[in-house]
């Protein structure tokens, strides 16, 4: 009995252990199931997220299109505001463009533009006017065409600025300028407004290596429909006549006996004009001097002094009595020239007559100018001897030149 109790107890204990083990296994099993379910749930969730992300990636709209759509919606929404802003900008900007910007740009172009003068002419002089011509170049930036309304230009000396004193006024007609254009004043009668200023201008042009031609005026300029009121104020440097430097006596001969009008001297001069200005002077009479002693005069008729060297014939009268009477002072004054076998003669202005009228402003300028040149004595004697023999002047002139060439070649 006792043994059976022990066996039963053992069975109870084993059953208990079995029961406990079953429960533990059951609990472990349940926990495993829960973990498995959890893993399945997490995996399902992750899969769902991936699927959502994939869907979102497929249906995503490109940024460029989205931006354009947003901008379009923005413009549609605020169209009225932008329209009002555009109107305000135009209302403020166009007047600034027309009244401020374009005129300022046009004025700047005028101020900075070069205006090289190609030629100028002072013709048909009277004591109250001249016929004035001028050709200048003006470059207009491509592809623009500028219409320039008529303009009156006042010519003045820069020394009188800012309160200028014009000596003449000239007018330019309406012009259309494009590319390399020319600006021309052709045969325009210009009244001399201030004679003293005009004389000072001419003196500066004749006596100096360089002189200034200054002009001022104002007009309207058009670029298409754009209009600008411009002020023209230019001072242009030009080459002067430099006191007629390199004046040359080409030939001279004494006429014996004198002609009926008293002419006893013939010759020719080369008068240089280094400027671009042509001067019509008329009949110019020069005093012929040795030192300060006036021996006679020479007249050049119908003088048109063009740019470059001008060879001009002259006829004159030498006062032989005065020459013989003053032979001592003449030889003394000519000592240096005589050593070289030359005679030195000076010429200064006496009178300038055009169409029978003394042109006082030319006389004021030329009468204060003295030109000096030397000429071989042999040439004068041979030319004079040719005249005495009658008709042999050309031969003797050629001979004298040949002898002079031979002299220079041999060096003595």
The 3-class secondary structure across 94-138, one letter per residue, is HHHHHHHHHHHHHHHHHHHCCCCEEEEEEECCCCCEEEEEEEEEE
Contact 155, 215 (CB under 8 A): yes
Examine the domain organization and report whether 226 and 96 are in the same domain. Answer: no
Query: Whose CA is closest to 251, among 82, 375, 102, 119?
Result: 375
Residues β-bridged to residue 304: 280
Residues 165, 200, single domain; the answer is yes
- What's residue 88's pLDDT? 54
In terms of Cα–Cα distance, which of 185, 273, 189, 226 is closest to 98? 226
Contact criterion met (CB below 8 Å) for 249 and 269: yes
In a domain, residue 34? The reply is no
Residue that has been written with the tokens 């001028």 in this structure = 134
* Calpha distance 352→37 (Å, rounded): 132
pLDDT at 375: 87
Flag whether 345 is in a domain: yes
Instruction: Say how many C-beta atoms besides its own lie within 10 A of residue 128's C-beta.
Output: 9
Which of 53, 82, 110 delimits the end of a domain?
Answer: 110
What is the reported pLDDT for 54? 46
258's CB contacts (< 8 A; 6+ apart) are 264, 317
In this structure, the answer to whether residues 218 and 313 fall within a common structural domain is: no
Does one domain contain both 249 and 332?
yes
Decide the pairing of beta strands 117-123 and 277-290.
parallel
Whether residue 269 sits in one domain with residue 356: yes
Q: In the block, which residue shows the tokens 């006829």?
A: 315
Asked if residue 306 and residue 193 are part of one domain, the reply reads: no
CA 388/CA 246 separation, integer angstroms: 31
Residue 2 lies in a domain: no
Burial 313-351 (b: 16+ CB within 10 A, else e): ebbbbbeeeeeeebeeebeebbeebeeeebbbbbbbbbb
Q: 273, 308 in Cβ contact below 8 A? A: yes
Do 134 and 228 fall within a single domain?
yes
| CB burial of residue 230 (10 Å; 0-12, 13-18, 19+) | buried
- Domain-located, residue 5: no
Tell me: do 202 and 142 sit in the same domain. yes
Q: What is the mean pLDDT of each run of 10 residues along the chain (412 residues)?
A: 47 46 46 48 46 46 60 66 59 50 67 85 98 92 85 96 95 90 94 97 96 94 83 93 93 89 94 97 96 94 97 94 91 91 93 97 95 87 67 40 38 38
Q: For residue 168, which of 198, 196, 143, 206 has the smallest C-alpha distance? A: 198
Is residue 129 located within the same domain as residue 178? yes
Domain boundary among 84, 110, 136: 110
Q: Is residue 327 part of a domain?
A: yes
In a domain, 8, yes or no: no
Question: What is the DSSP code (8-state) at residue 157?
Answer: -
CA distance 34 to 39: 9
Could you say which of 88, 110, 132 is where a domain stops?
A: 110
Number of domains in the chain: 3
Distance CA 229, CA 126 (A): 36
Domain containing residue 227: 113-240
Residue found under tokens 């009008």: 261
- Contacts of residue 211, defined as CB under 8 A and 6 or more positions apart, other chains included, come to 201, 204, 205, 237, 238, 240
Whether residues 95 and 132 fall in one domain: no
Residue 396: the pLDDT is: 38
Residues 168 and 269 in one domain: no
Q: Are residues 104 and 147 in the same domain?
A: no
C-alpha neighbours within 13 Å on the C-beta side of residue 30: 5
Domain assignment of residue 33, yes or no: no
CATH of the domain at 233: 2.60.40
Residue 39 domain-assigned?
A: no
Which DSSP state fits 173? -
What pLDDT, on a 0 to 100 scale, did the predictor assign at position 52?
43
């Amino acid at each position: 009995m006792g043994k059976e109790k022990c066996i039963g107890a053992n069975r109870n204990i084993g059953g208990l252990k079995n029961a406990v083990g079953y429960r533990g296994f059951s609990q472990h099993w349940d926990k495993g199931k829960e973990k498995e379910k959890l893993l399945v749930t997490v995996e399902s969730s992750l899969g769902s997220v991936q699927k959502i992300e994939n869907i979102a990636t497929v249906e995503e709209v490109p940024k460029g299109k989205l931006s354009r759509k947003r901008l379009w919606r923005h413009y549609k929404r605020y169209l009225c505001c932008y329209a009002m802003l555009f109107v305000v900008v135009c209302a403020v900007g166009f007047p600034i463009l027309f009244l401020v910007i374009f005129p300022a740009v046009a004025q700047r172009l005028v101020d900075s533009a070069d205006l090289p003068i190609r030629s100028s002419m002072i013709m048909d002089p009277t004591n109250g006017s001249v016929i004035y011509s001028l050709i200048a170049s003006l470059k207009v930036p491509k592809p623009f065409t500028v219409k320039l309304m008529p303009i009156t230009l006042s010519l003045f000396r820069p020394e009188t600025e800012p309160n200028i004193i014009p000596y003449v006024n000239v007018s330019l007609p309406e012009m259309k300028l494009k590319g390399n254009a020319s600006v021309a004043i052709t045969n325009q009668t210009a009244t001399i407004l201030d004679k003293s200023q005009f004389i000072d201008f001419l003196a500066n042009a004749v006596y100096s290596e360089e002189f200034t031609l200054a002009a001022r005026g104002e007009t309207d300029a058009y670029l298409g429909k754009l209009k600008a009121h411009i002020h023209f104020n230019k001072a242009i440097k030009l080459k002067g006549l430099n006191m007629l430097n390199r004046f040359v006596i080409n030939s001279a001969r004494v006429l014996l006996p004198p002609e009926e009008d008293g002419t006893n001297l013939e010759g020719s001069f080369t008068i240089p004009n280094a400027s671009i200005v042509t001067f019509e002077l008329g009949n110019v009479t020069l005093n012929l001097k040795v030192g300060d002693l006036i021996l006679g005069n020479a007249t050049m008729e119908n003088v048109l002094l063009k740019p470059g060297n001008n060879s001009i014939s002259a006829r004159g009268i030498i006062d032989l009595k005065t020459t013989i009477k003053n032979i001592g002072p003449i030889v003394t004054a000519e000592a240096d020239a005589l050593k070289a076998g030359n005679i030195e003669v000076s010429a200064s202005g006496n009178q300038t007559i055009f169409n029978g009228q003394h042109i006082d402003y030319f006389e004021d300028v030329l009468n204060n100018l003295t030109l000096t040149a030397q000429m071989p004595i042999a040439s004068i004697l041979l030319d004079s001897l040719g005249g005495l023999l009658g008709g042999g002047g050309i031969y003797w002139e050629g001979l004298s030149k040949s002898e002079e060439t031979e002299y220079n070649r041999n060096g003595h």
